[in-house]
Amino acid sequence: MNSPIGIESVRSMVVGLDECVPVADGAMRPYVNCDNAASTPTLRPVAAAVDEFLRWYSNVHRGTGFKSRLSSWAFEEARAVIARFVGAEDRSNVVIFCRNATEGINRLAHRYPFRPDGIVLTSVMEHHSNELPWRRVAHVVHVGLTPDGRLDLADLEAKLVEHEGRVQLVALTGASNVTGWVNPVHDIARLAHAHGAEVMIDGAQLVPHRPVTMKPDGHPEHLDYLVFSGHKMYAPYGVGVLVGPRATFLRGDPDLVGGGAVDIVTLEDAYWTDLPDKEEAGTPDIVGAVAVARAIRLLEAVGWDAIIAHEQALTARALQRLTATAGVTIYGCSDPRRLIDRLGVIAFNVAGLPHALVAAILGYEHGIGVRAGCFCAHPYVKNLLHVDAVAAQALEDRIRRRDRSDIPGAVRISFGIYNSVEEVDAVCDAVARIARGEHRTDYVLNVERGEYTLPGADAALDRFFTIDLPAAAP
C-alpha cells in the first residue's frame, strides 16, 4: 500500500514547474500550463521510476540474462497494476499496450467481430479518434446532444430501439475534451447491454481525473472495452492501454504482425502465440509501461477524493471569474456550482477576437499555455458554435484551398492535479486584459495553418533546448 501523498505536495513534484519562459516584453515568467487536456507534464516520482528502471533495462521475454528477466517481470507487473486500477478481471480480460488511446481504438476497430450489417453507435461529441476508425469497419450512427452539449441519453435509447439487433458496439467518450462533460458510463453500459450491444469507453480524458472501474464481467454496468493514454496522466513516455475481453483478441489474426506475436513461422504459415503477446508485435514500450504503473500508484496515493475536490475548486474559480468578464462566452456548462458531472476543461471565446489570436496572446505575452481550435472534435465544436450547413460548406471549401484563417473554434484551458488557484487567477486576469484590448497588435496570421505568431519571438528556441550534445568543457 502506498503512503498517502497530500494534494498540496503534488505541485512540487512537477518536472519543469519552475521553468521560466520569455514573454513579449522581454521578461522571463514562470510558465503556467493550462493545456493538460492535450498532454500532462510528468511528475518527479514517475521520472525517478524511469531513471531507476533504466539501470536494469533490457528487452523483455525470452531473454535469459538477469536484466531481461527483471525487465520482463516489471513489464508484466505494470500490466497487472493497470488491470487492478481499472477493475478488469484478469482471467477473462487482457491489457494490451499500444502507443496511445488513438491506436487502441484503431486496433479494436480492426479486431472487433462486426457483422456485415453491424452498427456502431457513437456521438456528435466525440474526439476524431473515436469517430474515424469506426467508419472504416462498420456503419456509424450518431447519438445527438442536448442544447448545452451533453450526450442525449434519451436519443441514445431511441437509437438502440430503432436499430435493435444491429447495434453491436456503443463507443463513447468518458468525458469531453472540449466542454469537460462527464458521461454516465455505467448508465450507458446498462442501457446498451439491455439492447444486446457492448460498450467501449474512450477514457483518455476521464481516467486521469475520475476513478473508473470496468465492473465484473456479466454485471449490467460492465464496461466491455476501455482505452486511455499515459501521456494524459503524468506519464508522457509513449504508451497507451486497451483493455477488453480475451475472446475478442483470441479469434483471427492480430492487427500488427511480426516478432514476438508468433510461436511458429514457416514459409507457408504462422501460428500466433498467446495473449497479450499476440497483440504486441515487436519490442514494446517497456519504459512507458513502467511509467504508467508508477503514475497510477501516485494517483492512488493522493486519493480520488482529494484529486476531485482540488480540480473542482480550480474549475469553480475559473468559471466564476470568466463568466464575470465582459465579452467572454463559455461553451457547455458555465455554472460554477455544477461540478459533479464535469471536469476542469473550459472552452471559451472572447468577443471580436479570433480564438487562435487569443491563444497566441496568452502564450506570447503572458507565458500561459492553452490550446485553440476544434480540439480534434470538429462536429462537436461546430454544434456548440451553431455553425449551420451553409457556413460549414463554405468553411470546407476554404480549407480545401488551404485557407484556415477563419476556422470556427474556441480557446481551451484545462487543469491538472498540480495547478493552483494563483495560476487560475493569472489566466483569468490575462483573459480580462485581452477582452479589454490590452494586447499587442503586430501578430502575423499564417493563413494556411490558421495560427498567429509574434515576429522574432521564436528566433532562439535552441537556447532553451537543443538536440545537439553539450559543448565540451575547455
- The answer, yes or no, to whether residue 96 has pLDDT greater than 60, is yes
pLDDT at 403: 85
How much of the chain is in helix, strand and coil states, percent to nearest 5? 35, 20, 45
Indicate whether 66 and 190 sit together in one domain: yes
Within a domain: residue 329? yes
Q: Does the pLDDT at position 112 exceed 50? A: yes
- Same domain for 125 and 18? no
The stretch 106-134 carries a mean pLDDT of 97
Residues 203 and 269 in one domain: yes
Cell numbers standing for residue 264: 511458429
Q: Which of 266, 300, 334 represents a domain boundary (last residue)?
A: 300
| pLDDT tens-digit readout, 249-266 | 999 998 889 888 888 888
Lowest average pLDDT, out of 113-122, 144-153, 266-275, 441-450, goes to 266-275
Asked if the structure places residue 95 within a domain, the reply is yes
> Percentage of the chain surpassing pLDDT 90?
85
pLDDT at residue 149 tops 80: yes
> Does one domain contain both 286 and 359?
no
Last residue in a domain, options 285, 300, 315: 300
Query: Residue 277's closest CA among 53, 57, 60?
Result: 60
Active site residue 333: no
Bond from prior residue into 276 cis (ω within 30 degrees of 0): yes
pLDDT band at 473 (very low <50, low <70, confident <90, very high): low
This prediction's pTM: 0.95
3-state DSSP assignment of residue 129: helix
First to last CA, the chain: 50
My answer on whether 319 and 427 are in the same domain is yes
Query: For residue 11, is it within any domain?
Result: yes
Give the DSSP H or E segment for 94. strand 93-98
37-48 as b/e, with b when 16 or more CB fall inside 10 Å? bbbbbbbebbbe
SS3 of residue 439 by DSSP: coil
Q: For the chain, what is the mean pLDDT?
A: 95
**Confidence band for 287, pLDDT divided at 50, 70 and 90:** very high
Helix ranges, 18-164 (H): 44-54, 66-86, 101-111, 132-135, 153-162
- Residues above pLDDT 70, as percent of the chain: 99
pLDDT tens by residue, 289-331? 999 999 999 999 999 999 999 999 999 999 999 999 999 999 9
Q: Which residues contact 277 (CB under 8 A, 6 or more apart)?
A: 61, 260, 261
Mean pLDDT, rounded, for 60-81: 95
- E-only strand ranges, 165-265: 167-173, 198-202, 225-229, 240-245, 262-265
Query: 286-302 and 66-86 helices cross at what angle (nearest 10)?
Result: 40
Q: Are residues 126 and 215 in the same domain?
A: yes
145 with 172: CB under 8 angstroms? Answer: no
Specify whether the CB–CB gap between 184 and 201 falls below 8 A. Answer: no
Of 34, 333, 376, 428, which residue is the catalytic one? Answer: 376
- In this predicted structure, what is the pLDDT of residue 2? 57
Q: Assess whether pLDDT exceeds 80 at residue 474.
A: no
Domain limits for position 368:
7-42+303-454
Mark which of 300, 320, 349 sits at the end of a domain.
300
What cell does 12 get? 512540487
Residue 461 within any structural domain of the chain: no
Name the DSSP letter for residue 151.
B
User: What are 9's three cell numbers?
Assistant: 505536495
Could you read off the pLDDT of 328-347 as tens digits, one per residue?
Answer: 999 999 999 999 999 999 99
Binned at pLDDT 50, 70 and 90, residue 146 comes out as very high
What the block records as the C-alpha cell of 230 is 499515459
* CA dist., res. 100 & res. 133, Å (int): 14
Q: Is residue 255 domain-resident?
A: yes
Same domain, 31 and 69: no
Considering the domain boundaries, does residue 80 fall inside one?
yes
CATH, residue 413 = 3.90.1150.10
Do both 79 and 193 map to the same domain? Answer: yes
Residue 200, domain CATH: 3.40.640.10
**Number of separate domains in the chain:** 2
* Residue 1 is assigned to a structural domain of this protein: no
Say if residue 38 is in the same domain as residue 54.
no
User: What's the average model confidence in pLDDT over 22-49?
Assistant: 97
The answer to whether residues 308 and 215 belong to one domain is no
Q: What digits encode the pLDDT tens for the residues 348-368?
A: 999 999 999 999 999 999 999
Position 264 scores a pLDDT of 87
Residues 30 and 164 in one domain: no
In a domain, 463, yes or no: no
Q: Give residue 1's pLDDT.
A: 44
Residue 61 has pLDDT above 60, yes or no: yes
Provide the 8-state DSSP code for 270.
E
147 plus 196 within the same structural domain: yes
